[in-house]
Structure 1
Amino acid sequence: MVTLDFRTLTVPVGIVRILEVIFTCISFSLVASVGHSTNSFWTWCMFTWCFCFCVTFLIIFLEFTSLSAKLPISWDDFTTAFAMLATLMVLATSIIYPIFFTCSSCGKQIGATVLSCLTFILYAVEVGLTRAKPGEISGFLSTIPGLLKVLEAFVACIIFICLDYNQFSKYPGLQWCVAVYCICFIFAVLVIIFTICRLLSLFPAPFDKVLTGCNVLAVLMYITAAVVWPVYSFKNNSRPSYCSNMVLCPWDNLVVIAFMTCFNLAAYIVDTVYSFRLVFFISRT
């Protein structure tokens, strides 16, 4: 039986979600009114706003009708993971869209950019509101290590987007780096899926110990990638002169990958520190 819960619309997180729906709707409406583009970055921006609008609206509807409690998933983990993912997606969109599609006389595009930035702030606020507080019993994805898993998977996706087969297929070292990105990404996604679907009991060992071991391995693998990728990518490979006339040169993707590799390495180090603290300190108290 469906029961309407008006309280879900008046609590702080409910108000934030309503504003997210409004702002994302206005953002993609403004951009759509300007005209369609076949540019992949335009497609990414529109997908981000539409995706976040639809999922946030679905979350509001399911909580308002109390149907969320009947779903066979960890609802808190799902909403927190989505809020973190939406924060990262909208942040990327808020940077990409103005770089490629705005100008001093582009009123609608500027308006969409401003609303996108506000939407990013709202999703970041939602992450803060739904994140597990110290001493609070909650799902794994509501904790800092859980949010870091979403961040690590998202950064890996950015790396995959920037990869060019013709660039990394020439050197075994770069192929090793791609293998590192894939292996760590797959594990992060499996952790997210298993957590949301409440399947962590299927792990062959205690989850916290499995997580710690994999995080340590990921740190070691990413250290090698952070060293090997720049060595093979930039050795005798300076930025081409024709790139000066391009907004985003294909060579620049190598720089983005190198930066994102170091960024993800830092994320895995922080994740490992939290995992060690969880296993060897908190569990003993």
Structure 2
Amino acid sequence: MPTRRTSPEVDAICWVFWLLRLPQLFCTCVAFSLVADMGIWRGAVGNWAMSFWCVCFAMTLIISIVELYRRWSDFPFFWHNICVTYTCYAALICLSASIMYSITHVQFLPYGPYRDRAIAATAFSCIASVLYVVEVAGLWAWYELKEIFFYEHTTRALLKVLETFVAGVIFAFLSSTSLYLHQPALEWCVAVYSICFILAAVVLLLGQAEWKYMPPRPFSIFQLVLSLLSVLLYVSALVLWALYQSNEEYGGQLQRSSDMGCTNGLTYTLCFWDRKLTVAILTAVNLLVYVADMVCWASQVSVGTGGQSSAPDPLHSQGVSLQSSGSP
């Protein structure tokens, strides 16, 4: 029976800290500091990016302290699951912050020291995302995650991380309740995002807890049903959100120029039209992720059915072998 490592070695912890964790702390801290020092030129998008970098810095610092003092045994979940899942989120967070900050804010800043600081912060954020990706690849190889429940098929774990992450970004763009309040169809879309996020988060937590004693066949069917339900819900959300985005009869605006908030130049925040369009795009992206998740679980269920139907009965095989050995 193959063995697996459930805790890192001291030498490996030191190498990871000096080669990856310390540069991650430095890059996220510098990016946060550069944007924080911009004052009124920071904007709402800058505040949003700063919160992402701050979370990455704080979590990386906590994980580094726990590993340096070898306190991972105090956690109820296996430490490798926590580290890998957080590192995946951190890579996505820094990458999304780099893209959104540069596209929606940096390019509109006037040339000068503030623009240079914003560009430098974006560069450090990109470096941090690369470092987190390298750490994810290293952790997969180090902990031999192919032998760990829920990470046995890495694609499923990554899809769950993507589902919850994209939903979190959608919630960030829906922070202004005026986008959907008093519109039942859009309120239904927000409910869909919340329901699917909770379902994906629960499954992710089950994987973190390593509930490997659950029957694999019923669990796969349960996952398939949840994925199918999420796909149907997201299809309804995509149709309704796109309809209310483009149809003027429902208060939508097909052209960006129709939104007066988008024609005032740099307002340090995204206008409603941009937010609605971004939510529609992210809804389509998450729908594709859920479809891929459903396909993975459907293939798992079909493989399990085929394996059960084609697998020989050991008692029957034993009886046949005994009869053949006892026959003249």
- Is the 2:145–2:151 Cα contact (8 Å) retained in structure 1? no
Q: CA deviation at 1:135?
A: 8.5
The one-letter code matched in structure 1 to 2:284 is C
Question: Which one has the largest radius of gyration?
Answer: 2
Residue aligning to 1:136: 146
Residue aligning to 1:223: 235
| Pick aligned residue for 1:7 from 3, 9, 12 | 12
Rounded Cα–Cα distance in structure 2 between residues aligned with 1:48 and 1:165: 21
Rounded Cα–Cα distance in structure 1 between residues aligned with 2:282 and 2:239: 13
Rounded Cα–Cα distance in structure 2 between residues aligned with 1:273 and 1:14: 40
Q: Which moved more, 1:77-86 or 1:166-175?
A: 166-175
TM-score normalised to structure 2 length? 0.74
Residue aligning to 1:152: 163
Rounded Cα–Cα distance in structure 1 between residues aligned with 2:221 and 2:151: 16
What is the number of residues matched between the two proteins?
Answer: 282
Residue aligning to 2:290: 268
| Pick aligned residue for 1:110 from 116, 119, 135 | 119
TM-score normalised to structure 1 length? 0.85
- CA 1:200/1:228 → structure 2, altered by over 3 Å: closer, same or farther? farther
Gaps of 5+ in 2: 1-7, 308-328
The one-letter code matched in structure 1 to 2:159 is L
Residue aligning to 1:194: 206
| Pick aligned residue for 1:55 from 59, 81, 85 | 59
- CA 1:135/1:127 → structure 2, altered by over 3 Å: closer, same or farther? closer
- Secondary structure of the 1:245 match is coil
Q: CA deviation at 1:201?
A: 6.4
**1:36-93 Cα deviation digits (max 9, x unpaired):** 7784322222222221112112222222332113421122221111112112211221
The one-letter code matched in structure 2 to 1:151 is L
Q: CA deviation at 1:131?
A: 4.0
- Is the 1:28–1:49 Cα contact (8 Å) retained in structure 2? yes
Percentage of matched positions with identical amino acids: 32
- CA 1:206/1:67 → structure 2, altered by over 3 Å: closer, same or farther? farther
- Is the 1:26–1:112 Cα contact (8 Å) retained in structure 2? yes
**1:176-197 Cα deviation digits (max 9, x unpaired):** 2222111101111222233324
Residue aligning to 2:310: none
Rounded Cα–Cα distance in structure 2 between residues aligned with 1:283 and 1:70: 40
Q: Does 1:85 align with 2:89?
A: yes
**1:91-125 Cα deviation digits (max 9, x unpaired):** 22112333425554233332221111111122222
Residue aligning to 1:100: 105
Rounded Cα–Cα distance in structure 2 between residues aligned with 1:81 and 1:276: 24
| Pick aligned residue for 1:244 from 263, 269, 283 | 263
Q: CA deviation at 1:255?
A: 0.7
